[in-house]
Structure 1
Amino acid sequence: MAETKKRTAAVVPFALGLGLIVLVALGAMVFFASASVSGTATLPNGTIATINGPFSCSNNTAATVIDAGGHVFEFTPTTVLVDKTPVASLDSSVQKVEIDASYWTASLRINGEQVPSVR
């Protein structure tokens, strides 16, 4: 019997390369989705709010608006609103504001006290 050489189909290396690229892309997506994002925003009373997690922020003379975790946190010179519902006053006693956010939820703490979520 005579031996014959078999050629590997060109599809196999292509499929392996494509599979490797897909695995690298999935790994990058998991890395960026789990990366920690944080920042600060200046509130109308001069307090610096710390935001842990993904957020967007706009600031003007009338209010600071932070959109995080599917909630809208609005800080006016006198009031703190969550999703347009007043939850606390913004006066000189407010020294520390923290928002912990993920892509789906967020929580607000004022002076270390958890503010009940509204929905």
Structure 2
Amino acid sequence: MTSTSASKDKVYEKVINPYLPEVMKHPQTMEMREGVLHIRDVQGPRKTGSVEARLEAVEQEVFKCQGMVERGLNANHSMIAEFTRDHKLENNSIGEAIFKLHEKTEHLQA
């Protein structure tokens, strides 16, 4: 007898997500050299130095990325503030123009 959870897993793998085995496979690179297809497993980065040194390098990378994100957010905030400020001025002048047109229409209808 097979358990129902095992059969559900097989159904999920085969029917619902047919690409799961492909995703779970170890990454490979494919190269065509001299008419021959070469397939190799992707090698991860080599571990060099102590754990503390590697953590320090990762921390520096995180700080660098965090700085880039903060500068991007500041630039985005500045652009949004400038855009809203420019359009508030336009809205005020449009409102005045509509008010004047409304007064003129009332005057002409009278």
TM-score normalized with structure 2 length: 0.31
* Structure 1 or 2: more strand by fraction: 1
Larger radius of gyration: 2
* Structure 1 or 2: more helix by fraction: 2
TM-score normalized with structure 1 length: 0.29
